């Protein structure tokens, strides 16, 4: 992908490193730290966190009162700095630091031979297991300049460290476990990556709780969290340390090490700081909290990040179908989505005192999902399913497969069904406006869509019901709907469901709620997506396949999610798409349909500005009343160019 070479796309490579510990042997610990830091540099890593007190080992006990150990630790830090680890890598190592007669448990930040700062631990454990107050003092109020390891450095908790686009905040082990951890204030001051130098022992269920704590903290702060804990070599007199280390980004696990190893190990991940910054910028609550903080942090400039080649290797997965739940959460998420759709329709029907719903049933995916949701809503309200009026309206392009499936589905679900052909009325209408019947243009197609909508609206008026819309989020994004045709309804239950998710929901609903209709629902899921507005082939095969015209929906949904959810640039979306769809679409194909997406998205805003009410289901919605307010006259040139 030559046009995108040598760009970082907002990524920063981070590492959590777990050295094998030689307790109180600072010489061997130093050699191991330098070796592992070199490996991090070789891996093009910009930020690397080591465990708490790793230059000495955490479990030295009263040896921390020995000047010999403290002098050895200071020499270790000096040697690590002098080793001149690549100037692009910021490393954080743990060491005991003596200052003005007080001993502090510190993170030492080093980059390119320079010690950038010392961050002391704030909250010291004082329990039967951990008794740090015996040796160390909290650094909560300390802010001093001192000469340490041959360099003049600042000792303070109120420090951040910038490396390229990353702003790094630091805390030490127990700091995370308190009601308001220091990382909260660091994040509000601008830190988008938090490093935790830890020495967290193992106990039954503690690992799960620790992961939950790191995950929730990273999500709450819209930050990446690099948690590195000590492992093999620490004293096992009473406790066991297993090197439990994780890397999370905004609540999502990016990397986790194997615990209980007998050797050193490291985990790496590419953190998307651009995504984190975008998420913060879109959060009024985060902005308000940041504006009200009283703490003042100094940001130490650590220089440029490592010139990592993310195009050659990206250490994170890129989900090709971001709207579709993963296999392990599929049932739970689909159940929740359907519940949102069903409850929203129940509320609307009950509010207006309506016991009838009219739906156009095409035998396609969207109308099927809308029908299933409506039937479940009627069941929830205790209404007779016969109050659901399904109307199939065969036209010039209707195939026997879709028409047959529509009829079977309505029969299986026990709803009222009607068949009203639109061929006579549309033929008459086209004749009225002097449009040849053999000219299969947009007018020819739109006339059919609007006639169907007119039928649905008028039947709803006859029956005292409402028209339940079938259009989905992907169609709204592309404007792939006829204005005041299938674009319009009285309530749109699918309005925030993208096409890739529609198929998943129909398949799930078939197995969860509609056992008797599984065969027909399975065939609907397998039917090519088509509006069937153009005549079929002589053998009845669908010729007008939507994805042949507008492009693959899986690509458009990918574009939609990354542009709308995160505000990514076209270059970054292209980069991510090429990673996600490698081996399925080449770069030229992705670029072609991305240009189509941008052009259609901008030109079709006028349809979204008057879209019907409908429930928001996920993080992306195009409702002009809340989630997406855009002028219909905006140009797409900055994106397409």
Measure the CA–CA gap between 636 and 641, rounded to whole angstroms.
8
Q: Which residues are part of the catalytic machinery?
A: 52, 121, 173
Classify 140 in phi/psi space as left (phi over 0), alpha (psi -120 to 50) or beta. Answer: alpha
Q: DSSP for 221-262? A: TTSEEEEEE--BTB--SS-------EEEETTEEEEEPPSS-S
Nearest residue to 239 via CA among 136, 392, 125, 374: 125
Distances (CA, A) of 192 to 214, 225, 619: 14, 9, 21
Contacts of 602 (CB under 8 A, 6+ apart): 634, 635, 636, 639
Q: For the chain, how big is the Rg over CA atoms in Å?
A: 30
Distances (CA, A) of 125 to 122, 128, 136, 470, 616: 10, 9, 10, 58, 45
Q: Are 265 and 53 in contact (CB under 8 A)?
A: no
Measure the CA–CA gap between 517 and 496, rounded to whole angstroms.
25
Distances (CA, A) of 495 to 227, 476, 477, 627: 40, 8, 10, 12
Nearest residue to 227 via CA among 274, 158, 177: 177
The DSSP bridge partners found for residue 255 are 247
Q: DSSP for 547-615? A: HHHT--HHHHHHHHHHHHHH---HHHHHHHHHHHTTTTS-HHHHHHHHHHHHHHHHHTHHHHTTPPP--
Q: Are 482 and 450 in contact (CB under 8 A)?
A: yes
Measure the CA–CA gap between 388 and 460, rounded to whole angstroms.
11
Structure tokens at 279: 């998420």
Pairing of strands 246-249, 114-120: unpaired
Ordered strands of the 47-49 beta sheet: 143-148, 151-156, 114-120, 102-111, 90-99, 47-49, 11-18, 265-272
Which phi and psi (to 5°) does residue 241 adopt? -110, 130
Which phi and psi (to 5°) does residue 111 adopt? -150, 125
Which phi and psi (to 5°) does residue 629 adopt? -120, 110
Nearest residue to 342 via CA among 491, 517, 507: 491
């Amino acid at each position: 992908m030559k046009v995108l070479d040598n760009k970082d796309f907002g990524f920063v490579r981070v590492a959590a490193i777990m050295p094998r510990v030689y307790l109180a042997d600072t010489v061997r610990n130093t050699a191991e730290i330098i070796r592992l830091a070199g490996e991090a540099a070789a891996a093009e890593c910009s930020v690397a966190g080591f465990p708490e007190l790793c230059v000495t080992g955490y479990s030295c006990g009263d040896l921390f009162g020995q000047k010999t150990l403290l002098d050895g630790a200071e020499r270790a830090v000096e040697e690590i700095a002098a080793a001149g680890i690549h100037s692009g890598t910021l490393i954080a190592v743990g060491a005991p630091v003596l200052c003005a007669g007080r001993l502090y448990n510190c993170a030492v930040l080093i980059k390119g031979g320079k010690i950038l700062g010392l961050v002391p631990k704030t909250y010291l454990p004082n329990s039967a297991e951990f008794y740090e107050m015996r040796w160390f003092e909290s650094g909560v109020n300390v802010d001093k300049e001192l000469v340490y390891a041959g360099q003049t450095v600042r000792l303070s908790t109120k420090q951040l460290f910038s490396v390229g686009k990353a702003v790094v905040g630091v805390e030490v082990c127990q700091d995370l476990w308190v009601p308001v951890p220091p990382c909260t204030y660091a994040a509000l001051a601008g830190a988008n990556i938090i490093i935790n130098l830890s020495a967290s022992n193992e106990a039954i269920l503690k690992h799960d709780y620790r992961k939950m704590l790191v995950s929730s903290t990273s999500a709450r702060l819209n930050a990446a969290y690099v948690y590195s804990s000590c492992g093999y070599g620490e004293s096992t007199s009473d406790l066991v340390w297993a090197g439990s280390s994780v890397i999370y980004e905004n609540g999502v696990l990016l990397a986790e090490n194997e615990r209980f190893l007998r050797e050193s190990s490291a985990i790496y991940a590419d953190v998307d700081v651009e995504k984190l910054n975008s998420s913060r910028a879109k959060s009024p609550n985060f902005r308000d909290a940041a504006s009200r903080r009283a703490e003042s942090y100094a940001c130490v400039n650590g220089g440029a990040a490592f010139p990592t080649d993310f195009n050659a290797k990206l250490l994170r997965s890129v989900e090709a179908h971001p709207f579709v739940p993963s296999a392990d959460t599929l049932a739970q998420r689909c159940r929740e989505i359907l519940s949102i759709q069903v409850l929203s329709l129940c509320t609307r029907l009950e509010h207006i005192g309506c016991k009838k719903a009219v739906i156009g049933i095409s035998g396609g995916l969207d109308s099927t999902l809308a029908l299933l949701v409506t039937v479940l809503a009627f069941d929830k309200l205790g209404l007779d399913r016969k109050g659901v009026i399904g109307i199939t309206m065969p036209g010039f392009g209707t195939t026997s497969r879709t028409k047959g499936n529509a009829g079977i589905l309505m029969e299986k679900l026990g709803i009222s069904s009607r068949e009203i052909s639109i061929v006579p009325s549309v033929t008459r209408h086209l004749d009225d406006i002097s449009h040849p019947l053999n000219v299969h243009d947009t007018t020819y197609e739109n006339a059919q869509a609007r006639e169907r909508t007119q039928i649905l609206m008028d039947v709803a008026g006859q029956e005292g019901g409402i028209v339940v819309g079938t259009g989905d989020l992907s169609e709204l994004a592309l404007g792939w709907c006829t204005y005041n045709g299938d674009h319009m309804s009285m309530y749109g239950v699918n309005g925030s469901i993208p096409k890739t998710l529609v198929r998943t929901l129909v398949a799930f609903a078939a197995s969860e709620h509609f056992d008797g209709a599984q065969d027909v629902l399975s065939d609907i899921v397998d039917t090519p997506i088509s509006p069937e507005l153009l005549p079929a082939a002589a053998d009845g095969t669908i010729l007008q396949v939507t994805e042949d015209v507008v492009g693959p929906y899986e690509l458009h949904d990918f574009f939609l999610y990354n542009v709308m959810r995160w505000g990514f640039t076209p270059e970054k979306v292209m980069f991510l798409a090429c990673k996600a769809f490698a081996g399925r679409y080449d770069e030229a194909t992705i670029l072609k349909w991305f240009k189509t997406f941008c052009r259609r998205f901008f030109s079709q805003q006028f349809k979204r500005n008057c879209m019907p009410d409908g429930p928001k289901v996920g993080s992306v919605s195009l409702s002009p009343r809340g989630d997406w307010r855009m002028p219909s006259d905006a140009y797409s040139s900055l994106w397409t160019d």
